[in-house]
């Protein structure tokens, strides 16, 4: 049972699917005061963009990290990735005409930025130790 759980926790497709459903659900909720199909469209847009971001955030930070010296390597790659992902979310929802853009992107942006900063700090420290 433990090995199955470990495989699921390390599985990129599981992470991508979780991002789609969790953040897509948030998109529906954040726009629920508006008539259908606005909440559903916002949820689908948010879910799709969160799935893409989940797939690419870690890879982009791993690619950028070696390009910076030690101290900037802690904050620059996740900051750049966070700004790009926030811009991506805003533009996607703007194009989809999401009624509550800022509310819709607030939670996914916060989660993404916390995740990518934490991931980068952990990886940077492991690289420094090894």
Concatenated DSSP letters of 45-82:
HHHHHHHHHHHHHHHHHHHHGGGS-HHHHHHHHHHHHH
Tokens matching residue 49: 């963009």
With a cut of 70, say whether residue 43 has pLDDT above it: yes
- Over residues 78-91, the mean pLDDT reads 95
- Give residue limits of the domains in the chain: 2-129
DSSP state of 34: S
Q: To the nearest 10°, report the CA torsion of 30, 22, 105, 67.
A: 180
Q: Which helix (H) or strand (E) holds 120?
A: helix 101-129
6 pLDDT above the threshold of 80: no
Q: Determine the pLDDT at residue 103.
A: 97
Residue 103: which of 50, 26, 35 has the closest Cα?
Answer: 26
Question: Which residues, 6 or more positions from 111, have their beta carbon under 8 angstroms from its beta carbon?
Answer: 23
Enter the tokens of residue 84. Answer: 């790009």
| pLDDT over 70 (residue 130) | no
pLDDT digits (tens, 9 = 90+) for 10-38: 778 888 899 999 999 999 999 999 999 99
Higher pLDDT: 82 or 1? It is 82
Residue-level pLDDT at 1: 62
pLDDT reading at 124 higher than 90? no
| Summary mean pLDDT of the chain | 90
pLDDT of 41 higher than 80: yes
């Amino acid at each position: 049972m433990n090995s199955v759980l470990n495989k699921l926790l390390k599985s990129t497709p599981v992470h991508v699917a979780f991002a789609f459903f969790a953040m897509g659900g948030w998109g529906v909720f954040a726009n629920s005061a508006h008539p259908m199909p606005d909440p559903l469209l916002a949820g689908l847009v948010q879910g799709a963009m969160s799935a893409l971001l989940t797939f690419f955030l870690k890879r982009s930070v791993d690619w950028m990290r070696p390009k910076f010296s030690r101290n900037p390597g802690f904050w620059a790659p996740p900051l750049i990735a966070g700004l790009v992902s926030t811009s991506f979310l805003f533009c996607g929802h703007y194009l989809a005409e999401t009624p509550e853009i800022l509310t819709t992107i607030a939670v996914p942006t916060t989660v993404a930025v916390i995740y990518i900063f934490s991931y980068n700090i952990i990886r940077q420290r492991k690289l420094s130790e090894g």
